[in-house]
Amino acid sequence: MTDSTVKPPKAKTGPKKGFKQSPEHIARRKMWGAANPKWKGDAALVNAGRQRARRIYQHIGPCSGCGALRGERHHRDGNTHNNDSANIAVLCRRCHMATDGRLSAFLEMARAQQPKAVAARIRSCRMAEGLSR
């Protein structure tokens, strides 16, 4: 075929499939924070700050409020870019939502949309905690 409008396929960049990446490529991938040429600092989005907190504080342990095993990172001052250890609290989802003031609105919405599921969940939680709440 001698059609001149047909473009040749784009050459793929990066290492060939099945081959290891070059040491330079691996070193470039490991540049974190301000060392990375694409670092945005505080201009990054709110979720980027949350992502940084997850990367910095990977093994956080149980909730400091109730002792639930699955903890989340809570930014005490509300600024997700402030990932100083003094600004991070370990809370479970329920304590986190209660601290942020989202829990009552969430429960209201859930009760309105799925009353049977919410009632069953509250019953099972109370049985598991021995009616402590």
d(CA 27, CA 59): 25
- Containing 73, the helix (H) or strand (E) segment is strand 72-75
Does residue 97 belong to the site contacting Zn ion (CB under 5 A)? Answer: no
Report the nearest approach of Zn ion to the CB of residue 128 (Å): 14
Instruction: Please pick, from the candidates 48, 66, 90, 103, the single residue that binds Zn ion as defined by CB under 5 A.
Output: 66
Does residue 89 belong to the site contacting Zn ion (CB under 5 A)? Answer: no
Report the nearest approach of Zn ion to the CB of residue 126 (Å): 16
Does residue 65 belong to the site contacting Zn ion (CB under 5 A)? Answer: yes
Please answer whether residues 97 and 88 qualify as being in contact, where contact means their C-beta atoms are separated by less than 8 angstroms: no
Does residue 88 belong to the site contacting Zn ion (CB under 5 A)? Answer: no
Phi-psi region of 49 (alpha: psi -120 to 50; beta: other; left: phi over 0): alpha
